[in-house]
Structure 1
Amino acid sequence: MYRFLDRHLADLDEGARITVDAVRKWVTAVAERKCPADAVAPLFLDRRLIGAMAPFHRALTLLAVHGRMQLGFARECCPVVAEGEALLLSLLDRTSDRRRTCLAAVNEPYVEALQQAVMELEAAMQVAGLAPGSAGR
C-alpha cells in the first residue's frame, strides 16, 4: 500500500489512474447519497470495463461497510493518491500479498468475498488491456 500512497497520479499507469478516478467518483456519490454505480458507469463504459463494474462495487462496499478502519479518500481534483485508493491499488497489484492485505482491511468473515471481488476486478481490467500488475511502476 505504501508504494502507492502519496504518489502523483501522473506517475501511475493508465489502469491505476482509472482505478483512482473510479474510487473517487464512487466515494463522492455515496457521500452525496447518489447511486455509486451510476457515478462510475461512464468511466467504465468508455474503457470497455463493464465487466469490472460489479466486482468494483462489491470491493468498495465491503471496504466501506466491513472495513477494519475508516479509510481516507481524496477529492477528484487531488493530484496524489490517498490512503483508501492506495489500499485498492495494492490489492490489485499481483506482487502484493493480497490475502494479508484483505485480512488487514476487512473483518474476518468478509476476507474471502473481498479477495474474490478483487480477483474479478483484476480479470476484467486484464481483458480491457489495463493490467493492474504494472500499476505504480
Structure 2
Amino acid sequence: MDINIRNEIEKDYREVEELTREAFWNLYVPGANEHFIVHNLRESKSFIKELDFVAIHEDKIVGNIIYTLSYIEDESNKKHEVITFGPVSILPEFQNRGIGRKLIEHSINKAKDLSYKAIIIYGYPDYYSKYGGSVQESL
C-alpha cells in the first residue's frame, strides 16, 4: 500500500479529528473522546507541531500521530524533558495494514533528528508491545 507521510496542516484539523473519532469509536468505552483530546492538544503550549504527522493514501488522510512535550521526575525530584505520542489514529478500514507502524517509525526518526532523548507512549500498552522495547527504552 502506497502511503505518504507529511506534517499535518491547519486545513487538515477537522478531517483528522473525524478520523480519530472513527478510529476509536466504541473501542474502549461507548462513543469516543480521543478526537477531543487531539483538538485540545493542538491548543496546548506543549504541542510539538514538527511531530504532528498525517498518513495519506490516494489523496485521503487515513492516519495521524501527535506529540507533546512532557517530563518525568526522578527520585531526587529532578525533571527530565521527554515527549509523549498519542493518540495514533488510523481509519478503521485502513487498520492492520502497517500505517500506524509507518507513522510511529517516521515520527521516531524525526524526534531523533530534533534531539529528543525519550518518548512516553499514551495508549494501550499491550498494543505497543509488538513494536519491541519498553517504556524504559530511550532514543
* TM-score under structure 1 length normalisation: 0.32
- Whose RCO is larger (CA < 8 A, sep 6+)? 1
Larger Rg computed on CA atoms: 2
* TM-score under structure 2 length normalisation: 0.31
Structure number with the higher helix fraction is 1
